Structure 1
């Protein structure tokens, strides 16, 4: 979608790696000016003629407002805010090994962060004629089995936030949607992918997906680019799964097309 974001200005959180980094490069490649935001110093590596980098906490109201103000001050407007930053909390079960403090931190980053994006970015975007807000949710927010409990609950809440915010933003010219990645190789999932590589079983990763593989950050970035572009001008309040088909069904081993002699 070369030129799809020409003249647009975007803020992208969680930009130092994975989906966020891929999205910064995709948005800039499509003509946007981008403020790349992350708490990790590696975000500074993205700085270029089209990208300014800013360190900060996606769950901090002061840091989010500072990022929005800087993007508007340096680039003259704001059209897009992609609230991508997220954490898992790292506890597999989430109920019996986790603490309330862990749950609160996950919710602070994963849910309060997108809330702050809507609260502070939407009025600025509307003032400049409208645009888009995008939030990274997850297939873990659609049903159980794709992440720790606290992470799954936070992502389900992000989907609800997008739905309710779309109603609150009616008439403002600001659209809001969520993208729900499946199994994507990022810093968050790297231990799983690295373990599979070490065991010589990388081909087994994503085997429950109809497409039979894990995804790449670039594939989510391409979806994010579409949802934030004018090509998605009639889409708001939606949660789009980009997961190789995983969420289309409960996992099953019945694969007719993979059986020898399958008739078409």
Structure 2
């Protein structure tokens, strides 16, 4: 089978697993919080759907997205056994994060996982509806490749606030909540999963502010794993590579518009980009009991991109 044909077949198989995968019970009885939920093709949305398919008892969705209420209602219809609560709020707000954690405990009596997935690549992003046309895509890419000299300090700080402070707050408030026991949860502990990036573990994979924030996310996962030693609380970071979401839509628009769509993702050994469902599947593993001995790790889900060093073929 030709490489292009193989690539297409693999991506189609991933989509089939996403849309028609069997119901499971890997999260039966568990309660979790997920941030960064809203866009239909986002990592957070794919993760929540997968968690519901695995019979999570209750899940609290936190984001500023206007699409969040509709998504929550759709999940309630599709998975009536899962209690879905949508909360519009700032993921980097101390009060918002402490309140959602307290609410989960108050309403369900337990917390088993917190998936801190929210993040941005840059500020002043092009409206999503414009990313599908060339002009909007060019504007977005030009913003992404700005040098240090052209990035204001307050923009750097805000990206750090959204991407890194939000993770700090998730760990700060989730950790004590995960330790709470009840009649349905006699053993304390649980899982905190944070979304970082290959840009946080290797250079040249993203803009400087984004990369710095994701390096901070990796460091917090590793540091807090040790700070929470002995509490049966696992903290791990997922480091996605090139994934097709709204965040990367401009890149795909330009590549496909110039007839180079098949070359997107060629730098990694799998010679393809990834889909949000593949990151969601890694998140499912990490929030479930199946990863009970995985802790303090930066798990790269990048097609092998971070496994080697770049070189020029002769």
- Partner deviation per Cα, 1:65-112 (whole Å, 9 max, x = no partner): 122122223333111000100011154235111111001101101111
Distance 1:100 1:223 in 2: 34
Distance 2:259 2:168 in 1: 41
- Give the match's secondary structure for 1:170: coil
Distance 2:97 2:51 in 1: 20
RMSD after superposition: 1.5
- Give the match's secondary structure for 1:58: coil
User: What's the counterpart of residue 43 of structure 1?
Assistant: 68
Distance 2:147 2:26 in 1: 41
TM-score (norm 2): 0.78
TM-superposed deviation, 1:252: 3.6
TM-superposed deviation, 1:141: 0.5
Q: Does 1:58 align with 2:82?
A: no
- Equivalent positions of 1:3-14 (< 5 A) are 3-14=25-36
- Give the match's secondary structure for 2:86: strand
Distance 2:52 2:108 in 1: 13
- Give the match's secondary structure for 1:62: helix
User: What's the counterpart of residue 261 of structure 1?
Assistant: none
User: What's the counterpart of residue 158 of structure 2?
Assistant: 105
TM-superposed deviation, 1:14: 0.2
Q: Is the 8 A contact 1:92 1:149 kept in 2?
A: no
- Partner deviation per Cα, 1:228-253 (whole Å, 9 max, x = no partner): 11111001100000000001112345
User: What's the counterpart of residue 259 of structure 1?
Assistant: none
- Give the match's secondary structure for 2:237: strand
TM-score (norm 1): 0.93
Unaligned runs of 5+ in 1: 256-264
Q: Is the 8 A contact 1:46 1:52 kept in 2?
A: no
**Which of residues 197, 209, 221 in structure 2 aligns to 1:162?**
221
Q: 1:94 to 1:31 in 2, by over 3 A?
A: farther
Q: Does 1:79 align with 2:138?
A: no
- 39-48 or 169-178, which moves further after superposition? 39-48
Distance 1:76 1:121 in 2: 14
Q: 1:94 to 1:173 in 2, by over 3 A?
A: farther
**Which of residues 232, 252, 255 in structure 2 aligns to 1:193?**
252
- 217-226 or 58-67, which moves further after superposition? 58-67
TM-superposed deviation, 1:202: 1.2
TM-superposed deviation, 1:254: 3.9
- Give the match's secondary structure for 1:150: helix
- Give the match's secondary structure for 2:272: coil
- Give the match's secondary structure for 1:180: strand
Aligned length: 255
Q: Does 1:22 align with 2:75?
A: no
User: What's the counterpart of residue 178 of structure 2?
Assistant: 125
Q: Is the 8 A contact 1:36 1:54 kept in 2?
A: yes
Unaligned runs of 5+ in 2: 1-22, 123-142, 182-187
TM-superposed deviation, 1:164: 0.6
Distance 1:13 1:83 in 2: 5
- Give the match's secondary structure for 1:218: helix
Q: 1:76 to 1:94 in 2, by over 3 A?
A: farther
- Give the match's secondary structure for 2:299: strand
- Give the match's secondary structure for 2:234: strand
More helix, by proportion = 2
